[in-house]
Amino acid sequence: MSLNKPVVQVTRKLPETIETRMMELFETRLNIDDRAMTREELIAAVAKIDVLVPTVTDRIDAEVINAAGDRLKLIASFGTGIDHVDLNAARARGIVVTNTPGVLTEDTADMTMALILAVSRRLGEGERLVRSGEWHGWTPTSMLGLRLHGKRLGIIGMGRIGSALARRARGFGLSVHYHNRRPVHHELEAELDATYWESLDQMLARMDILSINCPHTPATYHLLSARRLRLIRKQAILINTARGETVDQAVLTQMLIAGELAGAGLDVYEHEPAVPPQLLKLENVVLLPHIGSATLEGRIDMGEKVIINIKTFIDGHSPPDRVVEGP
């Protein structure tokens, strides 16, 4: 496929430098207001464009894809996750799908480590105490948290982000454990000094800190089910910077209310942007607005990957970050 200036629809506002570059290269339709496109707007848009650039919050399902005209040949998603795109529907229509892997690894690992620190040392509670004007000075027993050094960290999903988190965790003196579909390469395992658990159930029951770093797929939906959540030690904390759908959020909330977990750090939620009102009231939970990858550098890197994928595709080559091949 070769187009001089393909028509490209961008569904959300991107960094200015990326939008400027896209306007130079393509006939780009931007979302100036940064308002989420409605389903009707998406369906109308895909009928008249060559390339769609959605984000992870856009639901590009079979209905949207089947509404596309014959011109739409590429969905160049701005994000690493691909669970928002119906890959089978795209494949059936001969539409190539790409994502932006690798560029968010360090930023997300940083945020995961920050949440581990924030929950363990009660940083959210302390910050709120100072702002409230109710802090009356240091005492030996006030705001006691948990020491990280010597604790056991269980990483669920030892991909790029999980491995980057493991490197950070070692610097804090944490013992690294992980569950994956299969063990990582022995050289990486040795570098990270990480212990592989074939049984997720057994690992859950023995960790002090658990971090979810696996993608959302049909196989990982409610991976931490009610049964598995109840295997976790009462003194443990749970961190999720991956996808909210990997956890049975209703059960997690009830366990936190009942004191059956020491705490949680959540950057993602099962029904974003909705957050259960009960979670908002809990002092032992740190809640963030899905900002694990939100650095300027990361967003620019993502945009540059989108541009490379589009440019490579319109030049008649296979994009480097394809997740669905063309016909």
Residues with catalytic roles: 243, 272, 290
73, 49 Cβ separation under 8 angstroms: no
Instruction: Give the span between the Cα atoms of 198 and 96, in whole angstroms.
Output: 35
3-state secondary structure of 51: strand
Distances (CA, A) of 310 to 96, 270, 301, 318: 10, 31, 14, 10
Provide the 10 A C-beta neighbour count for residue 4.
7
DSSP 36: P
- In sequence order, the β-bridge partners of residue 51 are 8, 74
Distances (CA, A) of 118 to 31, 126, 211, 236: 35, 10, 14, 14
DSSP 33: T
Provide the 10 A C-beta neighbour count for residue 44.
12
> Could you please report the per-residue DSSP string of 148-178?
-TTPEEEEE--SHHHHHHHHHHHHTTPEEEE
Residue with tokens 């506002």: 13
CA atoms within 13 A on the CB side of 229: 24
Q: What is the largest CA-CA distance in the chain?
A: 70
Helix (H) or strand (E) run with residue 238 in it: strand 237-240
3-state secondary structure of 98: strand
- In sequence order, the β-bridge partners of residue 287 are 266
101, 108 Cβ separation under 8 angstroms: no
Retrieve residue 236's tokens. 């443990």
